[in-house]
Chains A and B, each alone.
Chain A
Amino acid sequence: MNRILRGTALNNFGKTSQWFAFGILKFREKFGQILIVAAGIVFLFLLTLVKSKTSPDFRIEPTLFIYTIFVSSFALSRLVGAIFYEASFSRVASRENIDAVLKGIYQPFVTFVIPCKNEEKDIANTVRKCFEADYPREKTEIIVINDGSTDKTIDVLRGLEASIPSMKIIDWKINRGKRHAMAEGFRQAKGEIVVQLDSDSFIDPGSFYHLLVPFAEPEIGAVCAHADPQNSEKNILTKMQAAYYFMSFRILKAAESTFLSVFCCSGCSSAYRKDLVLPILDRWTNEKFLGLPATWGDDRSLTSWILKSGSKTIYTDEVQAYTIVPEKVKQLMKQQLRWKKSWIVNAIITSRFIFKKQPFVALFYFLPLIIISLVTPFMALRALIYLPVFQSEMPYFYILGVLLVTSLFALYCLILEKRKTYWPYLFLWSLLNFFVLAPLLIYAAIRIQDRGWGTR
């Protein structure tokens, strides 16, 4: 209880310091904000200008014209959605709900479930950070599933047992897969809320309790924390990913969260209401797609099941989690390929129920997203290969358009990112995404039946 009180004090201090600084920072901040808004308007204008120069004539090629408008509008709608995120989030994480957690009115029992395999290096830190979480210790337990590790993971875990009494180790000699490990965790969990963590990620102990606040609303089924890479400083690739993580959580997930339907509560740090998961556990574990077991995409799939049950999912930027991102191009490509495949599989599964459960989100987000994801790789190929080769029309304006949309996203990240270090890398990521990752979707669709994990 002490910790949580200290947390409250810190939180209050944060609020008061804001007031102190207001006088001094007010001008600078306001000026900065005006500059950013002005820059945003300029970028929007430039984007419109570029579109006006590159879009085909409406009367001649109406479909192409509509597509052009459609794509830019969709990207901008994500930004608009993200802007409304706080307004929406504050209704769920209301003052009363925060107080309820802080004052013990709503303090559910929490089980951390950490499946791991060959993680002797990182596992100790992950477990320790769970133990240190700013939450009444008697209301937490940690379940670590050693899924057939061949290194010293089990020794490390045994070593921790003494200092962390609330840890329970499930030691499987033979590897059974992440889904099964997670499911076992859910089955054995005592907690009302299950926090699912990747073995190489952890949640900042100080902000942990915020993860539970949304659960005070009975309709909320899952909460996704904000994750950033721990190893972002490593090289340019990790810096790009840092920018991408921030953008994808703070803009894309936030925009989904505005309408209380985050489509993927990421595996690295999300919490689920156990009651909702238990009934679907078997179906989830044995999920098949085109006759083969769905290996990857456990997190996306689990979130889908939650949404299908009619509950809501939400993203919280109050909880800071950290994970490790690939440091080499090859690893990154494998990860991206896995994600793309899982996206395809889950898009099909989701499309079966989303129109009934969440018509608004289905119509204004899910459907456009599917259309754009299907068409964009082909439009990119047209602009990057077909037009330059057959019509000798270089894709300068196309790339300029992409960079302008990125500028708007980067500006928004600049406002929100506290360290303000990684936002410029978003441009690099955006180009990588445009030239490599977007076309990868086609490859992913072709190789969808290859269910290998493709080691990290």
Chain B
Amino acid sequence: MLNFRLRKIKILFLSVVGLVVFLMVIGIFVLKNNYYFRQNYLLMQIYNLQGNLALSSEKISNEGQTMTRISRESAVSVPILLYHGVIDDSEWKPDEVNVKMTDFRDQMFAVKKAGFQTVTLDDLSAFMRGEKKLPKKSFLLTFDDARKDSYYPVDPILNVLDYNAVMFVIAGRSLEADEGTENFHLTKKELEKMMATGRWEIGSHTKYGHDLQKISAEGAKGHFLSDRIWLDSENRLENAEEYKARVSKDLEESRNDLEKELDIEVSGFAYPFGDYGHNSKNFPESRKILADIARKNFAFSFRQAGESEFIGNFPGRDFTLLKRADINSAVSPSQLVSLLSGTMGKSIPYYDNFFKNQGWKKAWGDLLLKDGRLVTLSSPSENGSLVFLDGTFQWQDYEFKAKVSVLRGRHFAIVARYQDGNKYVSCDFLEDEAILVQKLNGQESEIRKSDTNESLANGREVDIGISVSGDEAACLIEGKAVLTGKIDQELNHGGIGFKTWDEKENNSYLAVKDVRVENIEK
């Protein structure tokens, strides 16, 4: 009897519970894919707030921007910064690839305070073709891999600083990712939202080319783009044609997919692992083939700058392959500012008494500034060191003199027309001779040799110099030319530096003061 009376309640109970379950399941499916309820999106709102708070406490307004507008000087070169993930986790230990969120914010704030402004790819493109002038303090900000953590923590900072950036997307990974479950790369929907902010541009970082591939029967791994891969089914390496077809297809599809899916134009391409063929394990020819394919598909390709290179990108010279400085948490905000400042073109006459670093960089070895001297020394496992001054890439005819004392080691050199670690002119002083040397594409060649009667590497201060004018170079001791010679056409411009060398490891130490660079009247 009671059971009969309970029937209604049972039915009601089941329908209410059923409704709740139904709503919950539907809700879960809806919310799982909803952009605005993603943890990342919600976190971003917090970042935004944090960014604004930090901004107000830092008292940065858009003054920096107006300053750069007022200064009429325009950029000689544009540096490009490269980041990967920006990690918001206090437990996280800095590595070489990623940067801590707070460090990134401090870096960007410092750069903004120093008056730097980001440019867009279009601006850079026009600049590189020599069609447009950019403010002196310009740089391009780029991120590789299109990870969620290169967008969510970053965008709020870009927003408050009025910056913009380029995201290099691994098309296969992002566009084919599942909206609901992908938790590392940005998905198509997120990329669309990102584009809608107006602060981002998108470049290609290959389609599937960011993977390691089997490149030998033994299972050795190599880079997708720069190595010939092992064809298991045919038990052989792919041939050059197959390589070319595979790489062409990947780059072309990456561009087409991004353009079609996101309704954008893609003009930039970044090499995965920074390997543009120069790190190839089994196919050195890939460097040239790859460059051709990249040039065919993209207006620009981006690689990572080597230690011995100038970071800035100069217009006109092979402008399709751009260099980027890889930044992580190890770079302090002030270091980043001086790195960017260093790239700005320096003018002749130039004097340096080393009270602060105007842009001296080491290609190898170590360098430090001490008591108004620049000290260049070898680090423990090296035989020597090479340092150069950033922002001098474009110098042409000049006389470069400095007072040096050799405190350890027996060989040292003064360097001019420095373009990178493989391309420069130098006057080498060793034992009792001076040699005029040119280095081209990694090959050193002696041009002229001369006796100096005594070794200059004796700890005493000596005034040495090098002068370059057109294709003529001269080595100077105490202001007098001790030998002269002709140098290659390719070395028609470049900056200044110093070099040390010794047979023994960790046994060279050169102190430099009073650097003077003067124009040479032709």
Known: A57-B180, A80-B16. A219 touches B6 (CB 8 A): no
In the bound complex, residues from chain A placing their C-beta under 8 Å from that of B6 are 88, 91, 259-260
Majority SS of interface residues in chain A? Answer: helix
Contact A48 B16 (CB under 8 A): no
Check: B184 CB closer than 8 A to any chain A CB.
no
A453 in the interface (beta carbon within 8 A): no
Q: Does A354 contact B (CB under 8 A)?
A: no
Return A402 CB to nearest CB of chain B, in Å: 16
CB distance from A53 to the nearest CB of B (A): 6
A233, chain B: closest CB distance, angstroms: 36
Candidates A48, A77, A360; contact of B17 at CB < 8 Å: A77
- B-binding segment of A68-76, A130-138, A286-294: A68-76
List residues of B (367-388) whose CB comes within 8 Å of A's CBs. none
On whether the beta carbons of A48 and B28 are closer than 8 Å, the reply is yes
B72 to chain A: closest CB distance in Å? 53
Q: Which residues of chain A (30-67) have a CB below 8 Å from chain B?
A: 44-45, 47-49, 51-53, 55, 57-58, 60
- Interface pair A219/B16, CB less than 8 Å apart: no
Chain B neighbourhood of A55, CB < 8 A? 28, 32
Interface residues of B in 454-512 (CB under 8 A from A): none
Please encode chain B, from 1 to 37, with 1 for each CB lying within 8 Å of some chain A CB and 0 for all others: 1100110011011101100110111011111100001
State whether the Cβ of B443 lies closer than 8 Å to any Cβ in chain A: no
- Which residues of chain B (351-405) have a CB below 8 Å from chain A? none
Evaluate contact between B2 and A312: CB separation under 8 angstroms.
yes
CB distance from B186 to the nearest CB of A (A): 18
Instruction: Give the number of residues in B that approach A within 8 Å (Cβ atoms).
Output: 27
* Total interface residues in chain A, CB < 8 Å: 33
Nearest B residue (CB) for A217: B2
Query: Of all chain B residues, which has the CB nearest A81?
Result: B13
Tell me if B2 and A92 are in contact (CB < 8 A): yes
Q: Closest residue of chain B to A56, judged by CB?
A: B181
Q: CB-CB < 8 A to B1: which residues of A?
A: 219
Q: Is B39 an interface position by the 8 A CB rule?
A: yes
Contact call A219/B2, Cβ cutoff below 8 A = yes
Contact call B20/A73, Cβ cutoff below 8 A: yes
Query: With A and B bound together, what is the CA distance between A364 and B71 in angstroms?
Result: 77
Answer whether residue A126 sits at the interface, using C-beta atoms and an 8 A cutoff. Answer: no
Q: Taking the nearest CB of chain B, how far is it from the CB of A95, in angstroms?
A: 15
CB contacts (< 8 Å) of B2 on chain A: these are: 91-92, 217, 219, 260, 312
Instruction: Please determine whether A72 and B13 come into contact, CB atoms closer than 8 angstroms.
Output: no
A52 touches B9 (CB 8 A): no
Compute how far the CA of A72 lies from the CA of B16 in the bound complex, rounded to whole angstroms.
14
Quick check: is A84 within 8 A (CB to CB) of the other chain?
yes
Q: Are A87 and B9 in contact (CB under 8 A)?
A: yes
Interchain CA distance A446-B30 in the complex, whole Å: 43
Contact of B24 among A48, A53, A81 (CB under 8 A): A48
Closest to A364 in B: B14
Q: Nearest chain-B residue to A48 (Cβ)?
A: B27
Task: Among A73, A76, A77, A360, point to the contact of B10 (Cβ < 8 A).
Answer: A360
CB-contacts of A105-128 with B (<8 A): none
Task: Check A342 for interface membership: any CB of B closer than 8 A.
Answer: no
Q: Report the Cα distance A48→B16, complex, angstroms.
A: 16
> How long is the Cα–Cα vector from A45 to B31 in the complex, in angstroms?
10
The 4 A-B residue pairs with the shortest CB-CB distance, nearest first, are A52-B31, A48-B27, A52-B28, A52-B32
Query: Can you offer 5 A-B residue contacts whose CB atoms are under 8 A?
Result: A44-B20, A69-B21, A84-B12, A91-B6, A260-B6
Other than the given A53-B37, A73-B17, A88-B6, 19 more pairs (CB < 8 A) read A44-B20, A45-B27, A48-B27, A48-B28, A49-B31, A51-B28, A52-B27, A52-B37, A53-B31, A53-B32, A55-B32, A69-B24, A69-B28, A76-B20, A76-B21, A80-B16, A91-B5, A219-B2, A259-B6
Give B contacts to A, CB under 8 Å: 1-2, 5-6, 9-10, 12-14, 16-17, 20-21, 23-25, 27-32, 37, 39, 178, 180-181
